[in-house]
Chain A
Amino acid sequence: MTEHAITMRAVNKYYGAFHALVDIDLTVERGERVVICGPSGSGKSTLIRTINQLEAIQSGQIVVDGIALSGGDNVAKVRQEVGMVFQSFNLFPHMTVLENCMLAPMKSRKIPRAEAKATARQYLDRVKIPEQADKYPAQLSGGQQQRVAIARALCMKPRIMLFDEPTSALDPEMVKEVLDTMIDLAREGMTMLCVTHEMEFARAVADRVIFMDKGVIVEENPPEAFFGNPQNERLQNFLGQIA
Chain B
Amino acid sequence: MIREFSSVDLIFIAMAIRWTLILSVIAFIGGAVGGLALALSRTAHSRALRWLSMSFIQVFQGTPLLMQLFLVYFGLAVLGLPIDPLVAAAVALTLHASAFLGEIWRGAIQAVPQGQSEAATALALSYRDRMRHVVLPQAMRVATAPTVGFLVQLIKGTSLASIIGFTELTRAGQIVNNATFQPFLVFGTVAVLYFILCWPLSLLARRMEARMRLAVTR
Contacts and interface: CB of A to CB of B under 8 A. Distances in A.
A108 B138 contact: no
Contact of B123 (A93, A94, A104, A138): A104
B115 interface: yes
A52 B122 contact: yes
A80 B121 contact: no
Contact of B119 (A80, A90, A108): A90
A92 B134 contact: yes
Interface residues of B, number: 19
Interface of A: 52, 54, 76, 79-80, 82-84, 86, 88, 90-94, 103-104, 107-109, 138, 149, 152-153, 156
Contacts of B55: none
B124 A80 contact: yes
Contacts of B84: none
Interface stretch (B3-11, B34-42, B125-133): B125-133
Contact of B116 (A80, A92, A149): A92
In order of increasing CB-CB distance, the 7 nearest A-B pairs are A90-B119, A104-B123, A79-B124, A84-B122, A90-B115, A108-B124, A80-B124
Given A52-B122, A76-B126, A156-B124, 10 more contacts: A52-B121, A79-B121, A80-B124, A82-B122, A92-B120, A104-B125, A107-B125, A153-B122, A153-B123, A156-B123
Contacts of B138: 92-94
Interface SS of B by simple majority: helix
B218 A138 contact: yes
Nearest to A155: B123
Contacts of A104: 120, 123-125
A163 B134 CA distance: 21
A54 B138 CA distance: 21
A90 B137 contact: no
Contacts of B129: 107-108
A76 B130 CA distance: 13
Interface string B111-151: 00101101111111110010001100110010000000000
Contacts of B125: 103-104, 107-108
Given A94-B138, A107-B133, A88 B124 contact: no
Nearest to A93: B138
A84 to B, nearest CB: 4
* Candidate in A52, A80, A104, A152 with the most chain B CB atoms within 10 angstroms: A104
